[in-house]
Amino acid sequence: MNPNPTNPDPSSKEALAASLVIDGPGLIDGGLFGLPFSAAQSDLVLLPVPWDVTTSYRPGTAEGPRLILEASTQIDLWDRDVPEAWRRGIHMLPIDAAIQARSTALRAVAEGQIEAQERGEAPDPAALAEVNAGCEALHELIEACAAELLDAHPHVGLVGGDHSTPLGFLRALARRHEGFGVLQIDAHADLRPGYEGFATSHASIMHNALALPQIARLVQVGVRDLCAQEVEVIRGSKGRIACHFDADLQAGRFEGATWAEQVRRILEPLPQEVYVSFDIDGLDPTLCPGTGTPVPGGLSFAQVDYLLRALARSGRRIIGFDLNEVASGGSEWDAIVGARALWLLSIATFLSAPAT
C-alpha cells in the first residue's frame, strides 16, 4: 500500500527512492504518506500548524496535522496524472508542541470571551488584546518559517489548524510574487473584519489576506454560509472577489450545466500564479462531520478532484496551498478524507509544475 525502504538510510534522494518497496505496507513511523524522505530530499515540504484559538463553534482543528499524518500511511501512491509523484519527495515538518501548547492556553482565554458575547456581555478588552497579540506572534513565526522553506524548496504547503493559520504564509508569498490569485474552497466567505473581536479570526482570513495588494483575484467556491456584510464586500470588490455560491453551482447542475462547464467559468478569472486555500468544510459535511463549523450542502470529493486537476492542467502554476479545519469528531473519517485531500493538493501542485 505504501513504501517500505529496503535500505533505511541511503545517502541520496535517488538512492532512497530506488530502495522503496512502493506497494508494501505503510510504516507507522514512516513519515507523511509513509514516505521517509527528509526535508532536504523533498520537492514539497509541508508546514504543520496545530492552532485553533479563535474557532467560533467548536475546537479540535489543532489536532488536524497529527490526524492527517496518522491517516496518510493508508494511501496508495499511484496517481493517474503523476504516477510517480512520490519520487519527488514529500515531507511534513515535525509538529511543534510549543505552538500547540500556546494554542491550548490562548484557546481557553478566547473561549471565555466568545461565551461572554454569546450571553450578550461585553468582552474583556485585555483578554482580546492577549489573544490578538498571541495570534499575531504566530503569523509572524509562520511567515519567517515559510520564507525559509520557500528559499530552500520548489514547493511549500501548510497544514492547519483553523483557517486563520495561512496568513503568515500568504505574507511570505506576497514578498516573492508581484501578483497572484487565490482559489478558496470553503463553506464560508471568511471576509469578516475582526470577528468576535479577534483581529485574525478564522472567519477573517480572506479579509486579512486581501490587505495584501499582491492578491489580484480571490475566487471562492462552495460558499453557503455568510453574513450580509460579507455579501456587500463581495459586491463592492469591483471584480477582485468572484464568489461561486454553492446554491448557484447546484442550480446550474439541476438546470443542465456540466461540472466541466462550471469549472471553466470558475477558473477563467484566475491569473497565471495561484494559491489554493482548502477549508475542509467546503466539502459535503458527510465527508467532514467533525470539522469546526460544518454546513449542509457543499462539494463532493470528486468535484474538488476535478477542479484542482483542471487548475493544474490550465497552464497556471500552483505557488502554494493550505488545508485546514480537519478535526476528529470522534471518528477517523475526517482524518482519512483530510489525508486524501492533502494528497490531491500535492498531486495538483506537481501536475502544475512538472519536474525538470
Residue-wise pLDDT for 123-170, tens only, equals: 999 999 999 999 999 999 999 999 999 999 999 999 999 999 999 999
44, three cell numbers:
514539497
Nearest to 72 by CA among 96, 46, 51: 46
For residues 158 and 147, what is the distance between their CA atoms, to the nearest angstrom? Answer: 12
Residue owning grid cell 484566475:
270
Residue 323's alpha-carbon distances to 122, 199, 296, 315, 342, in angstroms, are 33, 21, 20, 22, 7
User: What is the per-residue pLDDT for 26?
Assistant: 63
333, three cell numbers:
473519517
Residue-wise pLDDT for 190-239, tens only, equals: 999 988 888 888 999 999 999 999 999 999 999 999 999 999 999 999 99
User: What is the per-residue pLDDT for 78?
Assistant: 94
What average pLDDT score do residues 69-78 get? 93
DSSP E strand boundaries for the chain = 4-5, 20-21, 44-49, 90-92, 155-160, 180-185, 215-223, 241-245, 273-279, 317-324
Residue-wise pLDDT for 15-65, tens only, equals: 888 888 777 766 666 789 999 999 999 999 999 999 999 987 888 999 999
**Torsion-angle region of residue 222: left (phi > 0), alpha (psi -120 to 50) or beta?**
left
The third-level CATH classification (topology) of the domain covering 42-352 is Arginase; Chain A (3.40.800)
What phi, psi does 270 have (nearest 5°)? -75, 140
Percent of the chain with pLDDT over 70: 95
User: What is the per-residue pLDDT for 355?
Assistant: 80
Tell me the Cα Rg of the chain: 20
Angle at 83 between CA 78 and CA 84, to 5 degrees: 95
pLDDT confidence tier of residue 354, bands split at 50, 70 and 90:
confident
Answer positive or negative: Cα dihedral of 343, 346, 348, 350. negative
Contact (CB, 8 A) for 320 and 275: yes
Residue-wise pLDDT for 106-116, tens only, equals: 999 999 888 88
The two beta strands, 20-21 and 4-5, are: antiparallel
Task: Report domain extents, the chain.
Answer: 42-352
Q: Is the pLDDT of residue 81 over 70?
A: yes
User: What is the per-residue pLDDT for 186?
Assistant: 98
Q: Is the pLDDT of residue 10 over 50?
A: no
Q: Any idea how long the chain is? A: 356
Q: Is the pLDDT of residue 8 over 50?
A: no
Nearest to 173 by CA among 278, 306, 297, 276: 276
pLDDT confidence tier of residue 270, bands split at 50, 70 and 90:
very high
107 contact partners, CB below 8 Å, separation of at least 6:
52, 53, 55, 59, 62
User: What is the per-residue pLDDT for 29?
Assistant: 65
User: What is the per-residue pLDDT for 82?
Assistant: 95
The two beta strands, 317-324 and 155-160, are: parallel
Q: Is the pLDDT of residue 2 over 80?
A: no
For residues 301 and 344, what is the distance between their CA atoms, to the nearest angstrom? Answer: 10
User: What is the per-residue pLDDT for 7?
Assistant: 44
